[in-house]
Amino acid sequence: MDKKVFITRILSAIVFGVVMLGGLLFNQLSFIVLTTLICGGCLWEYFGLISTIQSYSERKKKTFRILSTLFGLTAYAFFLFPFLNFFLSGLILMIIPLLFLMFCVELFSGEQRTFQNTSFNLLGIFYISIPFGLLHLIVFFVSDHNCPWFPGKINAVLGLLLLIWTNDTFAYITGSLFGRHKLFSSISPKKSWEGFFGGTIMTLIVAFLISMLLDTIKLQDWIVIALIASVVGTLGDLFESMLKRNLGIKDSGSIMPGHGGFLDRFDAFIFCIPFVFAYLLLTFFL
């Protein structure tokens, strides 16, 4: 790798880490602002990718991208107040009329491929908006109901991010050094089984260390979350790679020099969130 590119990647990663930790740990408002910005960035990039295969005029493509991103953020916003436990189910169910409104957008598009376009819109909601919305419910379920925030209530989200970053980093290192057997060559030629198992082993070790530092969740729960970060996170990375490969695009964006866009950085995280939420929900009620 070119020395200049390597330095750019390192500096970009440091800035990214500082912003993420600051937003996660400062207070509730900073967490909401951070997740909203990331969700909006992912939606913007996703609908930008989709617009490349639509036959709209450039003006309609821009309008489609803006409206779809706003729809996605509106769906995400219904999850912002998990402490309203009594009204929570009603708030989430309000997403359904919003989805039907998305159907109506195509009435005014003049586009012939309405079925495909509507499917793309709905995929954006389920793929991005709902997972980021579930982050707020994860915070709720690992907290006591009288004080659903700090200190220590964000540990589940922070721990998940650390485990995903660990898996990505050590899967890359192990795969680069020892990778011989391709994991999914048709989608991501650089991923290997050796890298996958190397990342998984290190992620489990870090989960053990996290359990001693962040005691909001028990060790066995961190182990399960580590396995989700490794297995499901890898699937999320492969899914985004599949989307980009089908569209003939290398990176979803350029927000992080040397690393790509929002989707490139959070593809594994997005996939893991619903699984972690489902697991914590089950342990909460069982």
Report yes or no: 97 and 86 within 8 Å, Cβ to Cβ.
no
Report yes or no: 195 and 179 within 8 Å, Cβ to Cβ.
yes
pLDDT at 145: 42
Joined together, the tokens standing for residue 131 give 């997972």
**Residue 13 identity:** A
Joined together, the tokens standing for residue 257 give 């020099």
pLDDT at 208: 92
pLDDT at 50: 83
pLDDT at 151: 41
Gap between the terminal Cα atoms of the chain: 50
The whole model's pTM is what? 0.84
Task: Name the nearest CA neighbour of 164 among 109, 229, 114.
Answer: 229
pLDDT at 233: 93
pLDDT in tens, the chain (286 residues): 456 655 666 776 677 778 887 777 777 788 888 999 999 999 999 998 887 776 667 777 788 888 889 889 988 887 876 554 445 555 566 667 767 777 776 666 666 667 777 788 888 888 999 999 888 878 766 654 444 444 444 567 888 999 998 998 888 888 888 878 888 777 877 888 888 999 999 999 999 998 888 766 788 989 999 999 999 999 999 988 888 888 878 777 666 655 678 888 899 999 999 999 889 888 866 6
Report yes or no: 156 and 136 within 8 Å, Cβ to Cβ.
no
Number of residues in the chain: 286
pLDDT at 135: 87
Joined together, the tokens standing for residue 73 give 């953020």
